[in-house]
Amino acid sequence: MPIRVLVVDDSMFMRRLASDILNADPDIEVVDTARDGAEAIRKVCRLRPDCVTLDLVMPGQDGLTTLRRIMAECPTPVVVLSAHTRRGADLTVECLAAGAVGFVPKPSGELSLDLEKVRTWLTDEVKAAARSNIAGITSPIVSRIRKGRHPKGASDKIVVIGASTGGLQTLRAILAALPADFPAPMIVVQHVPTALFSQSLTESLNAVSEPPVTLAANGQVICPGTVYLAPGGYHLTVEPWSNQRSPCGTAKAGTTVFHLEGAAPGALSPSVDITMQSVSGLYAENTVGVILTGMGHDGVAGMRSIKQAGGKTLVQDESSLVFGMPKAVIDAGYADRVLPLCEMAQAIADAVASDEAGGAPRQEGAALV
């Protein structure tokens, strides 16, 4: 049975163009369209589509307000279409925090005559959203780290988290559960198209995280207790500091800095695999790898490199909004622990505090994976 989609946009042209693109995929059927937020809510409740594509800028009730009402009145997976601008990026991140599963930036503004350029992106996001875990969208809950159950003082460990579709809600829930004195640096690799969206994402994460969240920069020294977000459009690696290779004049011998390299056009960026392989090559058994919600298999090679280096690997279970990236790592046999979202922050703290190397893969509360 095809995925049933409701297309919401105030422009008749954009409704027709988006519908034509989606209907061209044999696995998708546009069951109706709506030209404003009020009509969208009525049709969502009546038609019960598998997914909604939602324009953000509409007269009267805007996309964000419409999304919040959909999630409150008739929870449905939503993919937002946004302008590729700073304002569009900010609105997109607000929508992701409010429950949208994914987003697709319009290539040339609100009236994108060239929406065809993102045809594959749009259809992939719709398919992922339709298969997403709606319970995880509406109530991403993570238990705060228990008193006395988190490491104290500076740590030699480093945490690398990979996420994609559905990542913002999941990351916000995990970071909100961490204490301000979390001792290890943490690198977050979340798939985003450009650094423009990364900046908005950084601000959203910083609003709920006690450890400070910052956008990683070329030559930046990696410090304990800080969360670094890999910028979109680049691949992020780590390297020992040297005067010749880093513009950071405050680093000392033995410290580690970031290196950014522009990703090729059309490449998946930032790449979870590239960052994890780089970090495990430098930090070896002190690396803690985490794979969260997302479609695809980015992170499999990275988690393999962490396992081979003697580090620890944690993977989200089927509580993932999109159980693609986590399942790929589990199926490949590179997960030391497979956990529900509610236990992930504590598991990260335990891995940082432990001196033991990664063990055999196991599902929490069950037999070995």
The mean pLDDT of the chain is 87
Task: Tell me the percentage of the chain whose pLDDT exceeds 70.
Answer: 85
Q: Looking at per-residue confidence, does 60 or 5 come out higher?
A: 5
* Residue 51: C-alpha distances to residues 28, 129, 285, 330 (Å): 10, 7, 42, 27
Contact 49, 5 (CB under 8 A): yes
Q: What is the pLDDT of residue 350?
A: 93
Task: Domain ranges for the chain, please list them.
Answer: 3-131, 158-363
Sorted by sequence, the CB contacts under 8 Å of residue 156 that are 6+ apart come out as 283, 286
Which among 305, 311, 298 is positioned nearest to 337, based on CA atoms?
311
232: tokens are: 């979109």
Q: Which of 234-238, 243-247, 262-266, 362-366 has the lowest mean pLDDT?
A: 362-366
Matching residue, tokens 């006395």: 148
Q: What is the pLDDT of residue 115?
A: 75
Q: Which of 15-19, 135-139, 340-344 has the lowest mean pLDDT?
A: 135-139
Burial of residue 367 (number of CB atoms within 10 Å: 0-12, 13-18, 19+): exposed
Q: Looking at per-residue confidence, does 121 or 3 come out higher?
A: 3
Do 158-363 and 3-131 have the same topology in CATH? yes
* Residue 20: C-alpha distances to residues 17, 102, 116, 165 (Å): 5, 20, 10, 24
Q: Which of the four pLDDT bands, split at 50, 70 and 90, describes residue 113?
A: low
Rounded to an integer, the average pLDDT of 196-209 is 93
Which among 369, 309, 295, 305 is positioned nearest to 337, based on CA atoms?
369
d(Cα 70, Cα 38) in Å, to the nearest integer? 10
Q: Which of the four pLDDT bands, split at 50, 70 and 90, describes residue 93?
A: very high
Contact 325, 165 (CB under 8 A): no
**312 has a pLDDT exceeding 80:** yes
Q: What is the pTM of this model?
A: 0.88
Phi/psi class of residue 267: alpha, beta or left (left: φ > 0; alpha: ψ in -120 to 50)? beta
Amino acid code (one letter) for 257: V
* Phi, psi angle pair for 362, to nearest 5°: -150, 150
* Residue 333: C-alpha distances to residues 19, 131, 328, 363 (Å): 40, 24, 9, 12
Q: Which of the four pLDDT bands, split at 50, 70 and 90, describes residue 157?
A: very high
Phi/psi class of residue 329: alpha, beta or left (left: φ > 0; alpha: ψ in -120 to 50)? alpha
* Residue 365: C-alpha distances to residues 38, 109, 327, 343 (Å): 45, 49, 18, 12
Which among 188, 180, 129, 130 is positioned nearest to 159, based on CA atoms?
188
316: tokens are: 């989200």
Rounded to an integer, the average pLDDT of 318-338 is 96
**pLDDT tens-place string over residues 18-72:** 999 999 999 999 999 999 999 999 999 999 999 999 998 888 888 999 999 999 9
Architecture of domain 3-131: 3-Layer(aba) Sandwich (3.40)
- DSSP state letter for 11: -
Contact 331, 299 (CB under 8 A): no
Give the pairing type, strands 337-339 and 362-363. Answer: parallel
User: What torsion do the CA atoms of 82, 87, 93, 98 make, to the nearest 10 degrees?
Assistant: -90
Between helices 63-73 and 37-47, what is the axis angle to 10°?
A: 30
Architecture of domain 158-363: 3-Layer(aba) Sandwich (3.40)
Matching residue, tokens 């095809």: 2
**357 has a pLDDT exceeding 70:** no
Q: What is the DSSP string of 108-121?
A: TSSS-TTGGGGHHH
- Catalytically active residues are 164, 191, 298
Q: Looking at per-residue confidence, does 86 or 110 come out higher?
A: 86
Strand order in the sheet with 312-316: 213-215, 227-229, 186-190, 158-163, 287-291, 312-316, 337-339, 362-363
Amino acid code (one letter) for 196: L
Q: What is the pLDDT of residue 116?
A: 75
* Phi, psi angle pair for 273, to nearest 5°: -60, -50
d(Cα 164, Cα 270) in Å, to the nearest integer? 10
**263 has a pLDDT exceeding 90:** no
**365 has a pLDDT exceeding 50:** no
Q: Which of the four pLDDT bands, split at 50, 70 and 90, describes residue 251?
A: very low
49: tokens are: 């589509």
